Amino acid sequence: MKIVRLKPKRDYPTRQGHPWIFSGAVDTVSREPENGETVQVVSADGTPLGLGAYSPHSQIRVRMWTFGSGSTPVDEAFFADRAARACSLREGFCERFRTDAWRVVNAEADGLPGVTVDRYGDVLVGQFTTAGAARNRDVIVKSLTEATGCAAFYERSDTDGRAHEGLEKTVGTLVGPEPPDRIPIHEGDTAFEVDVRGGHKTGFYLDQRENRRLVALYAKGADLLNAFSYTGGFGVAALRAGAASVTHVDLSASALALAERNTALNVPDGGGKSAFLQGNVFSVLREFRDRARSFGFVVLDPPKFAETRVQTMKALRGYKDINLLGIKLVVRGGYLATFSCSGAIDPKLFRTVVTEAAHDAGREVVVLHELRQAPDHTESLRFPEGLYLKGLLCRVM
């Protein structure tokens, strides 16, 4: 096996079980490994540290599959074991959370860097975002279909990040029949339809499942603004729970069309209480402000404004603007649920942004719940970068 030797004193994170090795920590590479090839990583003094996937095009040069000197080979048995572990971590999940859709593999946190797989009913939908994940795709797919008993696997590796890994985007059916246009799923008593072929990511924001429930708990009787609504998630859950009205705002016409369908699925006369506005949230919210419109509940769930740390400053301005506008629209005593899914912005920084927005809006904001990604989007203590979704559910006085 080809060997990646680290520079002196650069092996600490790897010894601690952190899966990323940046190019700056690499001293020498014995023969040039292929894209995604499994390599042996050793410290400067030659101590074996484990096996990882080599990414020659990426700043993250190696992503570790295994740790320690007696590492098992990265073969079919290894991936079968990882698949079994991911499934056992989520045992009982579907009964406990009353759902038939959940994240089956959450990349690094499940010991499978670059592998994200969601389950919608009996269909698995996966993204292989790194060279190592792509190279081992077929054996990973086999392990997961066997471990879950799912009859279909659809690939949605159309992520922008693939370019940094020297990979083309690719989508299509890998196992079983082509998925239908819309797959029905359930979260408790709420039903949704998911477009796994045309939707964002793998089709649905499963990471917000528990937060949708929490928002619904406070939404009764409120006029709710669902900003960045996508296919309606928060608003539909709120309407089902007795919200007086829901205003969905999103740029995407197809997402709003599905939000309309999801509304009809859950609340027969829900269409009459719902508005579906196609537009830019920043300008729609300004318009609402200028027309002195207000809401009992405002949900702000924007897309990732920061892809990298470098973009963080610009992203912070975006989060501040949107929160300032959002807070101003909340009636006194009403609610705000605000989120950031940028991994580069940690919970403390996000809190600071919301604090500044509240200050500028001249409103007292009281935090009721600190929010995060749903527990099937596992977070490993070894990999703090894996906590990407954070939010606050607040009372705005």
Asked if 99 is part of the footprint of ligand SAH (rule: CB under 6 A), the reply reads no
Write out the two tokens for 301: 């769930």
Asked if 296 is part of the footprint of ligand SAH (rule: CB under 6 A), the reply reads no
Q: What is d(CA 200, CA 208) in angstroms, rounded to the nearest whole number?
A: 14
- Which sequence positions are flagged as catalytic? 341
Burial of 356 (0-12, 13-18, 19+ CB in 10 A): middle
Q: Pick from 252, 294, 311, 312: which binds ligand SAH (CB under 6 A)?
A: 252
Asked if 253 is part of the footprint of ligand SAH (rule: CB under 6 A), the reply reads no
Q: Closest CB to ligand SAH among 104 and 255?
A: 255
Q: Closest CB to ligand SAH among 233 and 296?
A: 233
Element (H, E) at 300: strand 295-300
Shortest-Cβ-distance residue relative to ligand SAH? 233
Q: Pick from 79, 102, 228, 295: which binds ligand SAH (CB under 6 A)?
A: 228
Asked if 28 is part of the footprint of ligand SAH (rule: CB under 6 A), the reply reads no
Q: Closest CB to ligand SAH among 36 and 233?
A: 233
Asked if 250 is part of the footprint of ligand SAH (rule: CB under 6 A), the reply reads yes
Asked if 234 is part of the footprint of ligand SAH (rule: CB under 6 A), the reply reads yes
Q: What is d(CA 226, CA 48) in angstroms, rounded to the nearest whole number?
A: 51
Q: Which of these, 193, 265, 264, lies nearest to 230 by C-alpha position?
A: 193
Asked if 301 is part of the footprint of ligand SAH (rule: CB under 6 A), the reply reads yes
Asked if 255 is part of the footprint of ligand SAH (rule: CB under 6 A), the reply reads yes
Asked if 195 is part of the footprint of ligand SAH (rule: CB under 6 A), the reply reads no
Residue 260 Cβ, how far from ligand SAH at the closest point, in Å? 14
CA 133, 107, 318, 313 dihedral sign is negative
Q: Closest CB to ligand SAH among 119 and 135?
A: 119
Beta carbons of 212 and 242 less than 8 angstroms apart: no
Q: Residue written as tokens 């484990």?
A: 50
Binding range to ligand SAH, per CB under 6 A, among 36-44, 51-59, 64-72, 251-259: 251-259
Give the type of residue at 228.
F
Residue 152 Cβ, how far from ligand SAH at the closest point, in Å? 23
Asked if 280 is part of the footprint of ligand SAH (rule: CB under 6 A), the reply reads yes
Q: Pick from 131, 141, 150, 281: which binds ligand SAH (CB under 6 A)?
A: 281
Q: What is d(CA 296, CA 222) in angstroms, rounded to the nearest whole number?
A: 5
Q: Which of these, 285, 322, 317, 274, lies nearest to 302 by C-alpha position?
A: 322
Spatial strand order of the sheet with 26-29 comes to 20-22, 60-67, 48-54, 38-42, 3-6, 26-29
Residues that bind ligand SAH (CB under 6 A): 205, 208, 228-231, 233-234, 249-252, 255, 280-282, 301, 303
